[in-house]
Amino acid sequence: AQKVTQAQTEISVVEKEDVTLDCVYETRDTTYYLFWYKQPPSGELVFLIRRNSFDEQNEISGRYSWNFQKSTSSFNFTITASQVVDSAVYFCALSEAYGSARQLTFGSGTQLTVLP
């Protein structure tokens, strides 16, 4: 069975601080996909990134960066110079790569509050 753990339930930072959201996953598959979604206060789910298990290169997109470490089964998300608009719930998710289902298993989410 697949499992995603986001141990940080809530994080609060002051604007311009850097913040890292942790994600640890469990799977028996050797090939899989990892995702991050953002849920702002308005409620919709916004796709942020997808990562293949065979690609361990870190990725940077503006103020966002992701650190994928297969050895520790972690896929952490860092926001540099946080802004108030970054306040949201962030979900990490895992999907099998093969098989007909390819369901997404979500973590319980991390509520990030960026204070002005």
Partner 1 sequence: DADVTQTPRNRITKTGKRIMLECSQTKGHDRMYWYRQDPGLGLRLIYYSFDVKDINKGEISDGYSVSRQAQAKFSLSLESAIPNQTALYFCATSSLGTSGYNEQFFGPGTRLTVL
Residues 64 to 103 in contact with partner 1, rule: CB under 8 A: 91, 95, 97, 100-103
Residues 27 to 66 in contact with partner 1, rule: CB under 8 A: 33, 35, 37, 43-45, 47, 50
We find the least distance from the C-beta atom of residue 16 to partner 1, in angstroms, to be 29
Cβ atoms within 10 Å of 21's Cβ, excluding its own: 22
CB of 83 or CB of 103, closer to partner 1: 103
What are the two backbone dihedrals, phi and then psi, of residue 102, each rounded to the nearest 5 degrees?
50, 45
Give buried/exposed letters for 88-105 (b at 16+ CB in 10 A, else e): bbbbbbbbbeeeeeeeeb
Exactly one of 13, 87, 106, 113 binds partner 1 (CB under 8 A); that residue is 106
